[in-house]
Chains A and B, each alone.
Chain A
Amino acid sequence: DTEVTQTPKHLVMGMTNKKSLKCEQHMGHRAMYWYKQKAKKPPELMFVYSYEKLSINESVPSRFSPECPNSSLLNLHLHALQPEDSALYLCASSRSAGEQYFGPGTRLTVT
Chain B
Amino acid sequence: KQEVTQIPAALSVPEGENLVLNCSFTDSAIYNLQWFRQDPGKGLTSLLLIQSSQREQTSGRLNASLDKSSGRSTLYIAASQPGDSATYLCAPTRAGGGADGLTFGKGTHLIIQP
Contacts and interface: CB of A to CB of B under 8 A. Distances in A.
Considering the complex of A and B, which 4 residue pairs feature the smallest CB-CB distances, nearest first? A45-B101, A31-B99, A42-B104, A50-B99
Q: Is the interface of A mostly helix, strand, loop or mixed?
A: strand
B31 A97 contact: yes
17 contacts: A30-B99, A41-B106, A42-B89, A45-B103, A48-B99, A90-B43, A92-B44, A96-B97, A96-B98, A96-B99, A97-B32, A97-B99, A99-B32, A99-B34, A100-B102, A101-B46, A105-B42
A40 B103 CA distance: 16
Contacts of B102: 43, 45, 92, 100
A55 to B, nearest CB: 8
B98 A100 contact: no
Interface size class of B (residues with CB under 8 A): 20 to 34
Nearest to B109: A40
Contact of B43 (A44, A57, A97, A102): A102
Interface of A: 4, 6, 30-31, 33, 35, 41-45, 48, 50, 57, 88, 90, 92, 94, 96-105, 107
B107 to A, nearest CB: 6
B83 interface: no
A104 B98 contact: no
A41 B109 CA distance: 11
